[in-house]
Amino acid sequence: MLKGVIFDLDGVIVDSHPAHMRAWNKFLLSVGKSVTEAELEFVRDGRKKEDILRHFLGDVDGREIHAYSHKKDVFFNEEVKGVNTVAGIGELLNELKRAGVPAAVASSGSSERVHYILDFVGLRKYLAAVVTGDEVAKGKPDPAIFCKAAEKLRVAPSDSLAFEDSVSGVRAARAAGMKCLGIATPPRARSLVEAGAQDVLVDFVGTSVSQIRQLFLSCGAKAS
C-alpha cells in the first residue's frame, strides 16, 4: 500500500537544471576551469556538491569544498529568480496533503539552498519532511537519503514511491527498496528506465492521487 511519496527537488519539483548548469559554468570559469556542455551534463545527475567539485577539480580538501560551495551558491542565487516549478507539481502536492498521504523531498542539495527554493516557490507547506545532502555521508546513488526520508515520514521504503529525474537518483531509490517513477522528456526517459525506473512521466499535469496509487500498484506488477 502506498503510504508516502518522496520527490527529488531539481528537475522534479523545480525546473532548475538550466540555472544550475549556468551557475556551475560561471563558477568553474571563475576558478580557471573551462568545460564543454557535454561535460557539464554531470551536474544533472543528482550528486552532492562535494562530489561534483571533486569530479571537475580533483582532490579538494574540506576547507576548499566549503569555500567553493559558497562561491557556487552565490552564482546560483543570481539565477534562481527565473526558476519555475515543474508543471502540475503544486496541484499534486496539495492533493496528496488533502488525501493524507505524506510527501517528502530527498535532495542532494545543501539545506540552505533546498529550503530557500522550496520557500521561494511556495511549496514547503505541503511537505512533511525534507532531507538534504548535508544530512547524509554519501550522496546518490547511495540509498541513505531515501532511507532517511522514509524514516522521517514514518513509512517503510517498500510503501514509498519516489520520483526522480537522474540515473543516480533512480538507482538510489531502488537500492532503498522503493518503487520509482522517472520525470523526464523522451530523450532522457530511456536512461531512467535502464537505471530501474518503472515508468516515466513528462511532468505532473493531470496526475491525481488515485493515479499515483494506480501507478504504485502497476510498478509492483511490473517488478514481480
- pLDDT tens figures, 76-124: 888 888 889 999 999 999 999 999 999 999 999 888 889 989 999 999 9
Per-residue confidence at 222, pLDDT binned at 50, 70, 90? very low
Instruction: Please state, in angstroms and rounded to a whole number, the distance separating the CA atoms of residues 208 and 92.
Output: 6
Per-residue confidence at 223, pLDDT binned at 50, 70, 90? very low
The CATH number fitting domain 17-82, selected from 1.10.150.240, 2.120.10.30, 2.70.50.30, 1.10.287.990: 1.10.150.240
Sheet strands side by side (includes 179-183)? 129-131, 103-106, 4-7, 160-164, 179-183, 200-201
In the chain, list all ranges with CATH 1.10.150.240.
17-82
Residue 35: burial class (beta carbons within 10 Å; 0-12, 13-18, 19+) = middle
pLDDT in tens, 187-220: 889 999 999 999 999 999 999 999 999 999 988 6
Residue 223 corresponds to which cell in the numbers above?
517488478
* pLDDT more than 90, % of the chain: 71
Residue 142: burial class (beta carbons within 10 Å; 0-12, 13-18, 19+) = middle
Instruction: Please state, in angstroms and rounded to a whole number, the distance separating the CA atoms of residues 191 and 200.
Output: 10
Q: Which fold has domain 4-15+84-223?
A: Rossmann fold (3.40.50)
- The pLDDT value given to residue 220: 65
Q: Which long-range contacts (CB under 8 A, 24 or more apart) does 54-58 make?
A: 56/28, 57/31, 57/33
In the chain, list all ranges with CATH 3.40.50.1000.
4-15+84-223
Instruction: Tell me the pTM.
Output: 0.86
pLDDT in tens, 31-49: 999 999 899 888 887 788 8
Judge whether residue 73 has pLDDT over 70: yes
Across the chain, what does the average pLDDT equal? 92
pLDDT in tens, 117-133: 999 999 999 999 999 99
